[in-house]
Chain A
Amino acid sequence: MGKILTLARKEVAGYFFSPLGYVIGAIFLCACAFKFAPPPGFWTGSQDFFILVPNQPASLRGLFELMGMGMTVIAPLLTMKIISEEYHSGTIETLMTAPVTDTQVVLGKFLGVFTFYLALLGTTLIFLVLMFIFAQPDIGLVLMGYLGMILLGGAFIAVGVFASTLSRYQLLSVVVGIVILSLFMLVAGRVSVHAPQPWNQVATTLDAMGHMQKFARGIFDTQSVVFFLSLGGGFLFLSVKLLESRRWR
Chain B
Amino acid sequence: MALKKHKNKIDTMSLLNPRRKIFAGLLSMLISITAAVGLGLHLYATYKNLPGGVVMLEGLWIAALLGVAIAGVGLMKSSKGAMWALLGFWLIIVIGAVLQGFGWLLWGEPLLLGGMLEGFTAVGFLVGVLLLGCIIVASLIWATPHRSRNRYGMQVGTSIAGGVALIFAANMIAAAYPYQKDIEQFKRFGLSDKTKQILDKVDSPMRISAVYTAATTDPDTPTKRENRTETRKQLARVMELLHAANRYNPRIEVVDASGNVERMKLMDRIGTRCLADSDEQIRQLEKIQQQLPEIYRQLDAVKRRWANLPQTGYLSQWKLASELDKLVDAAVGKLKAKDNEARQKIASKTIPDYAGLLRGMVAQLQETNRQLDAFSQQIGQLSKLSGKIKTNSPKIRKALDECVAAFGDICTTVEKPNGKPNQTLIKLITAFRIASQKTLRASNALSGVAGANADFLDIVSTSKPWTVTVTDASGKKIRMRRNRYFAIITKDLQKLREDTAMKLGDENKKAQQKYLVAMRKISANFLTLIKAARGDTEKAITSLQNVDKDSRAIFELAKKRQLFAGVNQMINPLITNADKLQAIGRVKLAPELLQDNIIVIEDGDKFETISFDTAWPLVVRRSSIGQSDHDPQRFFNGGDAISSRILKLTHKKPFARILITTANPPIPKNAKPGSYPVRWDISPGELNKLYIALAEANFTFGEWDLNNEYPPPPQNENAPGENLQTILLVLPTGESVMPIPGLNKTRRDELNKQYREKIRRAINGGAAAIFMGTWLKPRSYGGHLIPRSYAFNPYLEKDWGIEVDAQYRVLEAIPQGDKFTINIQRFGYMLINNFPEAPPIGRGLRGRRLLWPNACPITVEKQLPRGVQIYPLLTIPDNMTNVWATSAPQKLGDELRQNNGLVEPHYGLGDISTPFAVAVAAVRSGDTKQKPARIVVLGMSGGFRDQYLNIRVNVTGEGYRTEPPPRSNPMVVVNAAYWLIGRDSYIANGPGGTKPVIAMSKTMRSWIWFSCVIALPLGLLAVGGVVMIVRKR
Residues of chain A whose beta carbon lies under 8 Å from any beta carbon of chain B: 16-17, 19, 21-23, 25-27, 29-30, 33-34, 36-40, 44-45, 47-48, 52-59, 123, 126-127, 130, 134-136, 138-141, 143-144, 190, 192-194, 196-198, 200, 204-205, 210, 217-223, 225-227, 229-231, 233-234, 237-238, 241, 244-245, 247-249
Contacts and interface: CB of A to CB of B under 8 A. Distances in A.
A29 B1016 contact: yes
A29 B1020 contact: yes
B996 A56 contact: yes
Contact of B160 (A59, A127, A192, A238): A238
B1031 A223 contact: no
A219 B189 contact: yes
Contacts of B183: 140-141, 143-144, 218-220
A127 B228 CA distance: 35
B670 interface: no
B171 A17 contact: no
Contacts of A198: 259
Contact of B180 (A123, A130, A220): A220
B1016 A33 contact: yes
Contacts of B1009: 37-40
Nearest to B997: A135
B2 interface: no
A12 to B, nearest CB: 13
B3 to A, nearest CB: 12
A33 B1013 contact: yes
Given A135-B995, A223-B171, A140 B632 contact: no
Contacts of B1012: 33, 36-37, 126-127, 130
Interface stretch (B151-159, B351-359, B393-401): B151-159
Interface string B164-198: 10010011011101111111111011100000000
Given A140-B185, A222-B174, A19 B152 contact: no
Given A53-B997, A248-B153, 6 more contacts: A37-B1011, A38-B1009, A57-B622, A130-B1008, A198-B259, A205-B175
Nearest to A247: B152
B568 to A, nearest CB: 56
Contacts of A44: 628
A118 to B, nearest CB: 15
Contact of A57 (B149, B996, B1006): B996
Which of B256, B1008, B1018 lies at the interface centre, i.e. has the most chain A CB atoms within 10 A of its CB?
B1008
A217 B184 contact: yes
13 contacts: A23-B1021, A33-B1017, A34-B1013, A54-B997, A57-B633, A130-B1008, A134-B998, A135-B998, A139-B185, A197-B256, A210-B236, A219-B180, A223-B180
B999 interface: yes
B1005 interface: yes
Contacts of A225: 174
Contacts of A54: 996-1000, 1005
A249 B149 contact: yes
B997 A48 contact: no
A182 B147 CA distance: 38
Contact of B174 (A25, A130, A227): A227
Given A30-B1013, A241-B159, A204 B997 contact: no
Contacts of A33: 1012-1013, 1016-1017
Nearest to A47: B628
Given A26-B1021, A205-B171, A140 B184 contact: yes
The residue among B164, B997, B1021 with the most chain A CB atoms within 10 A of its own CB is: B997
Nearest to B1021: A26
B623 to A, nearest CB: 9
A6 B311 CA distance: 120
A219 B182 contact: yes
B588 interface: no
A218 B189 contact: yes
Nearest to B244: A219
A194 to B, nearest CB: 7
Q: Which 3 pairs across A and B sit closest by C-beta, in order of nearness?
A: A22-B1024, A218-B184, A140-B183
B1005 A40 contact: yes
B1017 to A, nearest CB: 4
B1031 A17 contact: yes
A40 B1006 contact: yes
B1006 A193 contact: no
Interface of B: 149, 152-153, 156, 159-160, 163-164, 167, 170-171, 173-175, 177-186, 188-190, 228-229, 232-233, 236, 256, 258-259, 622, 628, 630-633, 994-1000, 1002, 1005-1006, 1008-1009, 1011-1013, 1016-1018, 1020-1021, 1023-1025, 1027-1028, 1031
A40 B1008 CA distance: 9
B683 to A, nearest CB: 40
Given A17-B1027, A33-B1013, A38-B1009, A52 B184 contact: no
A23 B182 CA distance: 37
Nearest to A249: B149
Contacts of A230: 167, 170-171
Contact of B995 (A45, A136, A204, A237): A136
A137 B977 CA distance: 34
Given A38-B1005, A39-B1009, A134-B1000, A234 B994 contact: no
Contacts of A45: 628, 630
Contacts of A38: 1005, 1009
Contacts of B149: 248-249
A126 B1016 contact: yes
B958 to A, nearest CB: 10
Contacts of B995: 57-58, 135-136
Contacts of A58: 994-997
Contacts of A40: 1002, 1005-1006, 1009
A193 B156 contact: no
Contacts of B233: 193
A238 B160 CA distance: 7
Contacts of B1002: 40
B174 A223 contact: yes
B415 to A, nearest CB: 101
B178 A221 contact: yes
Nearest to A197: B259
- Of A47, A55, A59, A143, most B-chain CB atoms within 10 Å: A55
Contacts of A16: 1027
Contacts of B170: 226, 229-230
B994 A57 contact: yes
Contacts of A53: 997
Nearest to A194: B228
A220 B999 CA distance: 32
B91 to A, nearest CB: 14
Contacts of A244: 156
A170 B179 CA distance: 40
Given A139-B185, A144-B183, A192 B998 contact: no
Max chain B C-beta neighbours (<10 A), residue from A123, A221, A245: A221
Nearest to A224: B174
A244 B155 CA distance: 11
B1020 A26 contact: yes
Nearest to A27: B1017
With most chain A CB atoms within 10 A of its CB, the pick from B173, B181, B1006, B1020 is B1020
A16 B1025 CA distance: 11
A197 B178 CA distance: 20
A138 B576 CA distance: 65
A57 B992 CA distance: 11
Nearest to B260: A197
A249 to B, nearest CB: 7
Nearest to B1022: A22
Contacts of A140: 182-185
A69 B849 CA distance: 31
A59 B994 contact: yes
Contacts of B236: 192, 204, 210
Contacts of A222: 174, 177-180
Given A33-B1012, A197-B259, A210-B236, A221 B180 contact: yes
